[in-house]
Chain A
Amino acid sequence: MIEYKNITKRFGEKAAVDNLTLSLEKGTITMLIGPSGCGKTTSLKMVNRLVDPDEGDILINGDSIFDLDPVTLRRDIGYVIQEIGLFPHYSVFDNIATLPRLHKWDEKKIKDRVYEVLDMVTLDETYADKYPRQLSGGERQRVGLARALAADPEVLLMDEPFGAIDPINRLILQQSFLEIQEEIKKTIVFVTHDINEAIQLGDKIAIMNQGSLVQFDTVSEILANPENEFVENLLGQDRNLKALSLKKAKDYAVKEGYITVTDGTEKEEIRKELEDKDLIVAYILDSRDRLKGRYYIDKSARKVEGRYPIVRETKPYRVTRNTSLTETLSRMLEHGEKKLPVVTREDRLTGVIDLDAIFEEVEQAGAPKEA
């Protein structure tokens, strides 16, 4: 846990950070975001004492960092900056081994650890002997992360680590970074100027402007209740859409509005049940509840003998439980479906999600004032 207590830092007359008090929970990612010059990077660099504040105190797990020698402190904190931070004259192995060597681990342990963290960032052993200039931007960034993790620090400071990476690779890196974090559960302070990155990666977001903390809360809370106009502008016009991207289909799946049948049930029998219940969809499940297909009454077709035809489909569109609402919405629009079945990883049907439920969510979040 990291606590900023009334931190102030002045550069000349101007306060770069003004009376900042912030408490970051252990094992979570806190995103520091704001326009350039808002003090986010300065605040980050105070944690490993690259910058010392003029006033206030910073505690890690209750102990003031100013009681420690800066060098000792830094060796226990992982630090990742944009790709330029790798030592160009060190091989990947030596770059990663830097801190373990300063900690004087024995070579065997260092070697094991280097390969372990390389594996963690999904780079294979052949990378160990390469030099930074032989790597792509994304690979360099992975090595940077591996190097920061090498000595297994509890706290990780990341200063716009993905800033210099192209959008496609950035997305891949962000996803794999989240997966790594699920595994290692570090306390991470992450500086970014990209609101989408903040929403994507953060457990909590601290929004700063002109050295002051504007809002500090969970991502969904900030999206739902922006403190003021500044935060609204930072979030952008599409913040409701962004809020949807945090929500998962599983939380909106309902077990009504459809019937389930086993394979081999007579068409007419299904039609009768649907008509009795005034429904149009029947999902076909196997003995283990896995989605095998669906029947639906096609109301867009021409009536045959006064009734709409019933159609069988073997591979109905579906979403998984953890699909975000934005993704669910876009699949609905893409396939022209108002309802989609929600399935588990093993393809078991857990319910259906309705377009109306998503719309309701949008309305609850409140339409942007400008609209």
Chain B
Amino acid sequence: MEFFTYIAENSDLVVSSIIRHFVLFAISMAFAVTVGTGLSIIITREGHEKMGQVILSVTGASQAVPSVAVIALVFLFIGIGMKPAIIALVIYSLVPIVFNATSGILSVDPGVIQAARGMGLTRTQRLWRIKIPLAMPVIMSGIRSAATINIGTVTVAAIIGAGGLGDIIYTGLKLNRPEMILIGAGFAAIIAILVDTVLHYVEQKVTPKGLA
């Protein structure tokens, strides 16, 4: 039961790591969601559908890039610490968010958009009243998968000095103490499950009634 002994003896470290981990996640996700959906809205403007298709291919392919590679690149160009870590996390989380939001908005039935246009809804009204609500389920599933990936990537970001549960895992690796690895990974997993549960609830709330 070294697992519980470690937690009991190092409760301050565990708690602060969890908090740090969550903060890194929350800040980077906030940026990624804002930038990502904003970007997708710009990409999918009416009359620029081709660009949307290009972005879909690019982001689709980018999902295959390992998180370590992104973190390593950010380290090369920006350095170490919490800020570079957040930048790397934002970049990495952007990919699924942009991919889903773009494909969600592009897949809104063109007939519906044309009806809205023909009825005299302005470009902005079409975006906020028609396209975004109809794309919401897809946008949200992008955000959910980005969140899960993000929490996992935060542990990796510890290698460039981000802090968080990744530190405990790496220390455990170096000292060959399996209980530390288990604690780091376990709590990261718990955060991921909790966040996903919350986001699942949010998804149901923001999905318009007539869909589903």
Contacts and interface: CB of A to CB of B under 8 A. Distances in A.
Contact of A87 (B116, B120, B122): B116
B118 A82 contact: no
Interface string B107-121: 001011011111111
A315 interface: no
Interface in A69-126: 70-75, 79, 81-82, 84-91, 98-99, 102
Nearest to B136: A89
B115 A131 contact: no
B134 to A, nearest CB: 6
A357 interface: no
A89 B120 contact: no
A53 interface: no
A77 B130 CA distance: 20
A74 B125 CA distance: 14
A232 B112 CA distance: 36
Nearest to A157: B118
A48 B210 contact: no
B111 A89 contact: no
A50 interface: yes
A131 B134 CA distance: 14
Interface string B199-212: 00000000011110
A91 B120 contact: no
Contacts of B120: 70-75, 99, 102
Given A72-B120, A79-B119, A102-B120, A88 B114 contact: no
Contacts of B121: 71, 98, 102
A132 B109 contact: no
B209 A87 contact: no
A368 to B, nearest CB: 39
A88 B118 contact: no
A85 B109 CA distance: 9
Given A85-B111, A90-B210, A75 B119 contact: yes
Contacts of A45: 118
B118 A133 contact: no
A131 B210 contact: yes
B130 A87 contact: yes
Nearest to B122: A71
B133 interface: yes
Contact of B210 (A50, A81, A89): A89
Interface in A230-282: none
Given A74-B120, A99-B120, A102-B120, A85 B115 contact: yes
Contact of A89 (B114, B119, B209): B209
Nearest to B116: A87
The interface centre, meaning the residue of A86, A88, A89, A157 with most chain B CB atoms within 10 A of its CB, is A89
B118 A48 contact: yes
A81 B133 contact: no
Interface in B109-153: 109, 111-112, 114-122, 125, 130, 133-134
A4 to B, nearest CB: 18
B111 A88 contact: no
Interface in A285-311: none
B58 to A, nearest CB: 29
Contacts of A91: 209-210
Contacts of A99: 119-120
B126 to A, nearest CB: 11
Interface in B19-42: none
The interface centre, meaning the residue of A74, A87, A157 with most chain B CB atoms within 10 A of its CB, is A87
23 contacts: A48-B118, A50-B114, A70-B120, A72-B120, A74-B119, A74-B120, A81-B115, A84-B109, A85-B114, A85-B115, A87-B112, A87-B130, A87-B210, A88-B112, A88-B134, A88-B208, A89-B209, A89-B210, A91-B209, A102-B119, A131-B210, A132-B210, A147-B119
Given A85-B115, A131-B210, 7 more contacts: A45-B118, A50-B117, A84-B115, A88-B211, A89-B211, A99-B120, A147-B119
Interface of A: 45, 48, 50, 70-75, 79, 81-82, 84-91, 98-99, 102, 131-133, 147, 157
A-B residue pairs, 8 tightest by C-beta? A89-B208, A85-B115, A74-B120, A84-B111, A131-B210, A75-B120, A79-B118, A89-B210
